[in-house]
Amino acid sequence: MFHRTRRDRKWEEKIYVYGRHALEEALDKAPQTIKKVYLSGDAETPELKAALAKRGLSAAHLKQKDTNNFVGQDAVHQGVIAVIDPAKLVKGFKEFEAEVRINDDSVLVLLDELTDPQNVGAIIRSAAAFGAQGVLLPQHRQAPVTGAVAKVSAGMVFSVPIVSIGNVNQTVLALKEKGFRAYGLDMKGGHALQSEPFAGPTLIIVGNEGAGIRQKTLGYCDTVLEIPMSPRCESLNASVSAAVVLYEWSKNHPQAIQ
């Protein structure tokens, strides 16, 4: 599902997510993605064991050496690590197209080569909070879904569809043909966010943390949005900008978050 070199191909087979909340979200929203669960003695509560058993899962004992190998020494894992099958977590674009129902309250978020897992996770969390139907991730030059992304998303990576796409520009054009209006985020966009009604299906494109949206992709946007702010602040980071725009969109589509 994610592009890797031959040397890194083994990492396509699994993703390690960690922390009790991330596991609980996976169990509740996407249990089919869970391949294996590891719990330390303190984390192996009767409630968690019952939740695993309800879904036909059991837990292996989590050893310290496994913790370091799976998620590293600095991860706050709470004695809970799950192995996730990315093939069951991330949808292909064609599969997603066939499943998604498009209406005037549809909003998708497309990440254009973001490299910081913290930003990716935070955007996925905002997308879930404000009713997005999916988050689209390019296969190349893009931070993929990892344990860190799942952690920052507060488990929302299991709640909102994550979609793997190939060429960003071709995807934008395909969605525009389906009736989506494409919005790019740029600090010099020229179109004030609060003046946009967001009528009809909406595609929000978030660019790279440093370079922003690539120029060719900007050319495919119907509108380039600017977030008005105090001159004391030069810019917002990618995840905060996405959250602001999604919130503004949701004000015109309250039914999407009910």
Shared domain for 103 and 18, answered yes or no, is no
Q: Residue 13's pLDDT band (boundaries 50, 70, 90)? A: low
pLDDT of amino acid 19:
86
Q: Residue 243's pLDDT band (boundaries 50, 70, 90)? A: very high
| Domain end point (choices 84, 118, 144) | 84
Q: Does residue 124 form part of some domain?
A: yes
| Domain end point (choices 84, 99, 114) | 84
User: For 96-135, how does the pLDDT look when each residue is reduced to its tens digit (9 = 90+)?
Assistant: 999 999 999 999 999 999 999 999 999 999 999 999 999 9
Q: Does residue 200 form part of some domain?
A: yes
Shared domain for 112 and 221, answered yes or no, is yes
Of the listed ranges 6-10, 33-37, 61-65, 228-232, the least confidently predicted one is: 6-10
Q: Does residue 96 form part of some domain?
A: yes
Q: Give the residue with greater pLDDT, 71 vs 225.
A: 225
Shared domain for 164 and 221, answered yes or no, is yes
Shared domain for 111 and 61, answered yes or no, is no
Residue 137 has pLDDT above 50, yes or no: yes
Shared domain for 60 and 114, answered yes or no, is no
CB 203 within 8 A of CB 183: yes
User: For 27-55, how does the pLDDT look when each residue is reduced to its tens digit (9 = 90+)?
Assistant: 999 999 999 999 988 888 888 889 999 99
Which among 195, 251, 246, 244 has a CA at the least distance from the CA of 223? Answer: 195
User: For 158-181, how does the pLDDT look when each residue is reduced to its tens digit (9 = 90+)?
Assistant: 999 999 999 999 999 999 999 999
User: For 60-104, how does the pLDDT look when each residue is reduced to its tens digit (9 = 90+)?
Assistant: 988 887 787 777 766 778 888 999 988 889 999 999 999 999 999
Q: What percent of the chain has pLDDT over 90?
A: 59
In this prediction the pTM is 0.87
Instruction: Provide the residue range defining the domain that includes 100.
Output: 89-257
Work out the average pLDDT over 55-61.
91
Q: Does residue 1 form part of some domain?
A: no
pLDDT of amino acid 221:
96
> Residue 164 and residue 146: Cα distance in Å, rounded?
14
Shared domain for 145 and 215, answered yes or no, is yes
Q: Does residue 32 form part of some domain?
A: yes
CA 162 from centroid of its chain's CA atoms: 6
What's the number of domains the chain is made of? 2
Residue 231 has pLDDT above 90, yes or no: no
| Domain end point (choices 64, 84, 104) | 84
Shared domain for 166 and 247, answered yes or no, is yes
Shared domain for 99 and 188, answered yes or no, is yes
pLDDT of amino acid 21:
87
